[in-house]
Chain A
Amino acid sequence: MRSLLAQSWQIYRKDMVVEYRTRERVVTMFVFSLIVVVIFNFAFNAGADVVQRVVPGMIWVAFAFAGMLSASRSFSPEKDRGTLDGLLLAPIDRGSIFLGKLLGNVTLIGLVQLAMLPLFVLFFNMTILPHLSKLLVIFFLGTVGFSSVATLFAAVAVNTRMRDVMLPVLLLPVASPVLIALVETTRTTFEGGDWQDMANWIRLLSVFTVVFLVASVMLFEYIMEE
């Protein structure tokens, strides 16, 4: 267990060093999320009354796409350069590769979320500070849950011919419960709801995250074997 975490940390550090040098993933994700928000505004022609209802969905569409981008890019360069094979040959637990990649994706999505939230406040005149503790819990649970499925399916999709198309097709239906829960909890929070108003959803998010995290770690070994 200790070595698994240590190995995961090594993978994570390696990916973050690479990312720090180019910053291409996190910049693309951020710009992409921004574009989604702008396009959504055109799509809904959102006046102040509509915004309250639309923004939670908009937030999570933007982050879901950013998350897919992150997950996909966590494997595809390694596959193209052939370094994935090197990683698989390394004398480490396969699960650690998954955990390292997952941690990397969560970090990058988290960074994009941090950068986007002030913009949401700016664009939509929303108040976030009083809800910060709730949002933190919701965003953390949702991002980890979504990313574990995303990371697993990205590892699958990277092997297919139509990898860019396959990831959303595989991921979004399976991840739909998380997305519904995230939109609902975010909306409840912005409407000033209490923990009790969304107890069911929080429970669903937590159970989903734990179950899919464990299942993904277990199944990843099968995906990566030759």
Chain B
Amino acid sequence: MAGIAARLRITPFGLICLLGLVATLYLSLIWAPRERVMGDVQRIMYFHVASAWIAEFAFVLVGVSSVIYLWLRERKWDIVAYSAAEIGFVFCCFVMITGPIWGKPVWGTWWTWDPRLTFSMILWLIYVAYLMLRVYGDDMPQVKTFLAVLGILGTIDIPFIHFATMWWRGLHPDSLVMTEEGLGAGMEVDMRIALGVSAVVFTLLFFYLMGRRMALERLRDEAEDLRERVEHRHPGSVGV
């Protein structure tokens, strides 16, 4: 365990996050009561919903930091947006993976075009577009501006996607978290506590990953800088 932590260069804060994740595992798999209709498989919810929360939170963060980037033109806000997009994408993948796994035993089919799944799917596609533009536009000077524009439009789009997918299919057939009465109205208290803890732990984890990812981007800038300095003094000495 310590060996892996060292290889992954996990800081104390990161370790706390991972321990929190283990605690969440206990709360959601053992401590929280068994859901009456769906049985144990409903316990996927604790990680699924927390991942969805992070995916959406990261998306908004991409939008906000994109606005600030266009305004101030400071590289660090671009870094925030990029890091949030990448991590948000990872968590959105978690949502897309656990959603069907939850759906199969409950609905009897891996995928239904239910509003929440459709919403996540569109969100996922926008993340993919963002990361694709980042990778394929790497050689363009204005790519950071383009990405900021995409980040802003994507975030403005969230309410539209939300209502469009909701009206398109009617409400979530057996949503416990989001019902018309409000957040978590259909759940027992212990379930709500477990979900709350899970959401908090995932948020901490998100910030830990943000720190790691942003540091990585700064390293890349540093390398780029040095490469330019070498290249400048000695053209052709660095073969990139």
Contact = CB atoms under 8 A, between A and B. Distances in A.
Interface of A: 149, 152-153, 156, 159-162, 166, 169-170, 172-174, 176-178, 180-181, 184, 200-201, 204, 207-208, 211-212, 215, 219, 222-223, 225-226
Nearest to B161: A177
9 contacts: A152-B153, A160-B137, A173-B125, A173-B129, A177-B164, A184-B167, A211-B156, A222-B149, A225-B142
Contacts of B157: 174, 177
Contact of B122 (A170, A176, A208, A222): A176
A174 B153 contact: yes
B150 interface: yes
The 4 tightest CB contacts between A and B, nearest first, are: A177-B164, A177-B160, A173-B125, A180-B164
Nearest to B162: A177
Nearest to A173: B125
Given A173-B122, A222-B145, A181 B153 contact: no
Contacts of B128: 169
A201 B168 CA distance: 10
Interface string B126-153: 1011001100110110100110111011
B146 A159 contact: yes
Given A159-B142, A173-B125, A212-B156, A181 B164 contact: yes
Given A161-B137, A166-B133, A222-B145, A156 B163 contact: no
Contact of A160 (B126, B136, B154, B165): B136
Contacts of B163: 177, 200, 204
A204 B145 contact: no
A225 B137 CA distance: 16
A153 B126 CA distance: 13
B32 interface: no
A156 B150 contact: yes
B165 A180 contact: yes
B70 interface: yes
Interface of B: 70, 122, 125-126, 128-129, 132-133, 136-137, 139-140, 142, 145-146, 148-150, 152-154, 156-157, 160-161, 163-165, 167-168
Given A149-B153, A161-B137, A200 B167 contact: yes
A169 B146 contact: no
A173 B140 contact: no
A184 B70 CA distance: 36
Nearest to B158: A177
Nearest to B139: A161
Contact of B133 (A160, A181, A184): A160
A226 B140 CA distance: 11
A223 B145 contact: yes
B139 A223 contact: no
A200 B170 CA distance: 13
B210 to A, nearest CB: 24
Contacts of A178: 160
A225 to B, nearest CB: 8
Given A174-B126, A177-B164, A223 B153 contact: no
B45 to A, nearest CB: 26
A161 B129 contact: no
Could you say which of A169, A172, A215, A225 has the most chain B C-beta atoms within 10 Å of its C-beta? A169
Contact of B150 (A170, A177, A184, A212): A170
Contacts of A162: 136
B161 A176 contact: yes
Nearest to B70: A222
B177 to A, nearest CB: 22
Contacts of B70: 219, 222
Contacts of A174: 126, 129, 150, 153-154, 157
